[in-house]
Each structure stands twice: as C-alpha cells, then as structure tokens.
C-alpha cells in the first residue's frame, strides 16, 4: 500500500488538473462538458475496519475529491467487519475517489477486499453526513467520559476504604506500643 503522503500528493495533482481545466475553459470561451453522475455502493471488508478511523478517513477523501453525496456505515458482511459506502458524484470525481480508497487505509485497518457495484437508491449530501457523523462521534466521547468518571469514583471509594483500614491498623499498632 502506498503511503498516505503519496495519496495526498495525488489529491493535489488532481486538484491542479481541475484548476487548469477550469482556467482553460474560462480563457478559451468553450462551454462546459456534460457531467454524468454515478451512484455506487462500495464495501470495504476485513478483519479490522470498525473503530480504526475508516469512516473519518473516507469522509476526508470524499471531501478532497469533491464528492457531492456520501454516506458510510459500519456493518457486518459474511461474518466480517465491513464499511458500506454510498457515493453519488461525477464520473471523474468518483473514479479518483475509488482509486484512492482501493489503495490507502488508516494505519490500524486490516482490509481484505474492496468491492463496488452500481446503486440505485438515494444518497445524503456530504454535509448532511458530516453533521450526523460528528454528532455520533461526540456522543461516543460523552459515553467514554461518563464511564471514566464512574471508574474514578469507584477507585476513590476503594482507595478511601483501604486508607481507612490502614489508618485503623496503624492506630491499633500505636495503642499496643
């Protein structure tokens, strides 16, 4: 797998080509070419693709490649962890996105396969997905924080009881002396 820096360099090259293409069209006065949309469903399956940052990683790439509509969910597929991605975008943007996600994954991900197929359903906007995803991530932080607070309280209670026992034992020893 190429390094993440290779992918970032490729993203920058794609952006440079798009900027040049836009500038060429503006200076030559030629009209814009017709843009065809494609809807695709992608399944990334593997031993470890949940809770390693795959969704955030993919959302970032979707943003970089100007994917207009995007959705991603952690699911189980054939008893394996999987991330299901739905994309609607121009053919060019989608092709670059697919090429990129077929090669790069978060460092702790263990991916076995990346499959894609046509998809006929609707896909939410990238902004709508981002908003819901960020709210879900914040909820995870709240749950983890609440659990940690409970553990700290329990530890303090146990420590306080042990301290009381130790103080009592030392008091008994002092009385004997």
Are 79 and 5 in contact by the 8 Å Cβ rule? The answer is no
Residue 88 dihedral angles phi and psi, to the nearest 5°: -130, 125
Are 72 and 95 in contact by the 8 Å Cβ rule? The answer is no
Work out whether strand 110-118 and strand 69-77 pair parallel, antiparallel, or are unpaired.
unpaired
CATH topology (fold) of 35-124: Alpha-Beta Plaits (3.30.70)
Please compute Rg for the chain using Cα positions.
26
Interval 25-30 mean pLDDT: 49
pLDDT of residue 1: 47
176/17: higher pLDDT: 176
User: Is pLDDT at 127 greater than 90 in this prediction?
Assistant: yes
pLDDT cut 90: percent of the chain above it: 36
Mean pLDDT of the chain: 80
- Angstrom distance (rounded) from CA 89 to CA 68: 6
User: Is pLDDT at 129 greater than 90 in this prediction?
Assistant: yes
* Signed CA dihedral, 113, 60, 99, 11: sign only: negative
37/134: higher pLDDT: 134
16/120: higher pLDDT: 120
127/13: higher pLDDT: 127
User: Is pLDDT at 59 greater than 50 in this prediction?
Assistant: yes
pLDDT of residue 126: 93
The per-residue pLDDT for range 61-79, each reduced to its tens digit, is 999 999 999 999 999 988 8
């Amino acid at each position: 797998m190429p390094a993440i820096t290779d992918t970032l360099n490729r993203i920058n090259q794609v952006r440079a080509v798009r900027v040049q293409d836009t500038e060429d069209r503006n200076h030559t006065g030629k009209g814009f070419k017709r843009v065809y949309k494609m809807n695709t469903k992608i399944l990334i399956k593997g031993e470890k693709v949940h809770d390693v940052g795959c969704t955030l990683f993919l959302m970032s790439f979707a943003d970089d490649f100007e994917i207009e509509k995007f959705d991603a969910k952690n699911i189980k597929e054939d008893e394996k962890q999987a991330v299901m991605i739905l994309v609607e975008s121009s053919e060019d943007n989608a092709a670059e996105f697919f090429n990129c996600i077929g090669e790069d994954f978060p460092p702790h991900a263990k991916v076995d396969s990346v499959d894609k197929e046509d998809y006929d359903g609707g896909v939410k906007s990238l902004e709508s997905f981002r908003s819901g995803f960020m709210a879900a991530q914040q909820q995870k932080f709240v749950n983890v924080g609440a659990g940690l607070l409970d553990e700290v309280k329990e530890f303090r209670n146990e420590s306080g009881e042990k301290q009381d026992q130790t103080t009592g034992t030392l008091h008994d020893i002092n009385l004997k002396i």
